[in-house]
Amino acid sequence: MMHTVTICDANHSASQCPALDATGLDSFDSQVAGGDMFSHTFTVAGTYYYYCRPHPWMQGEIIVH
In terms of Cα–Cα distance, which of 12, 4, 17 is closest to 49? 17
Query: 49: buried, middle or exposed (CB in 10 Å: 19+, 13-18, 0-12)?
Result: buried
Q: What are the pLDDT tens digits along the chain (65 aa)?
A: 899 999 999 888 888 888 888 989 999 999 999 899 999 999 999 999 999 999 999 999 999 99
pLDDT of residue 15: 84
Burial of 35 (0-12, 13-18, 19+ CB in 10 A): exposed
Query: What per-residue confidence (pLDDT) applies to 12?
Result: 85
Give the global pTM: 0.88
Q: Which domain holds residue 31?
A: 2-64
Question: What is the per-residue pLDDT for 64?
Answer: 97
Question: What local confidence, expressed as pLDDT, does residue 13 receive?
Answer: 83
Question: What is the total count of domains within the chain?
Answer: 1
